[in-house]
Amino acid sequence: MEILRCDNIKKVFGKGGNQVTALNGISLSVEKGEFVAIVGASGSGKSTLLHILGSVDKPTCGTVTIDGVDLGGLNATDAAIFRRRKVGLVYQFYNLIPTLTVEKNILMPMLLDKRKPDAEYFKRIVKTLGIEDKLECLPSQLSGGQQQRTAVARALIYRPAVLLADEPTGNLDRKNGEEIIDLLKLSNHNLKQTILLITHDEKIALQADRVVTIEDGQIVSGHLHGSAEWNACPGGYQDIPVEKRR
């Protein structure tokens, strides 16, 4: 089942002679439960794509659909609500609220909606991420790895349609970085969470089921991990049939 689709996404910054094309005709399809890595050098457009997929920014042209919702039809308020409920975002910097405990940081998306969290699901997340004994701590009392685990838990609490992770290990040492990737894999496997991981590190990307490469704002290749089968086309990724992914 397709959970995310973008068609011919273009993003242009500036005007006239100062125009910069960050994305130039990106097309991508992601199935529910997939773990997809998007790789590319700095400036290739991968973070711009993530911001558009997360409804943080809008494309100059093209369409993005997540869980059946066309993001282009959302105003700023509706986009913020959709992002909170349907898109989990994890960044290189943890963006935790320093005056709130770990528990309240994790629950913040639901508290903003005045919704009661599923207690059993909450326990399952914090246990999976190994922070069940840190719930009353403030972010300043945590290590970098523990803060990123908290950020991942916050992204998962609403059971989002898609979790978008932008260089989530970039601010961590090697050991903590490997643990975060292992935890993302665990959430993909145990919680059936769909994940798009943005990274410049090919070793990290190979932990995913599928790797898509971006250069100069275009998708130049995509492949399944462990497969010799590649599809490449300028400006768009031609999906390998779903039955070949499983």
More confident residue, 26 or 241: 26
Give which of 87, 123, 86, 83 is closest to 106, Cα–Cα.
Answer: 123
Whole-model pTM?
Answer: 0.82
Tens-digit pLDDT profile for residues 184-241 = 898 898 888 999 999 988 888 888 999 999 999 999 876 555 443 333 333 333 343 3
Residue 51, phi then psi, degrees to nearest 5: -65, -35
Share of the chain above pLDDT 90, in %: 57
CA-to-CA separations, 196 to 36, 109, 171, in angstroms, rounded: 5, 20, 18
Q: Are 100 and 108 in contact (CB under 8 A)?
A: yes
Share of the chain above pLDDT 70, in %: 90
Q: What is the pLDDT of residue 187?
A: 87
Task: Tell me the average pLDDT across 165-187.
Answer: 86
Q: Is 235 left (phi over 0), alpha (psi -120 to 50) or beta?
A: left
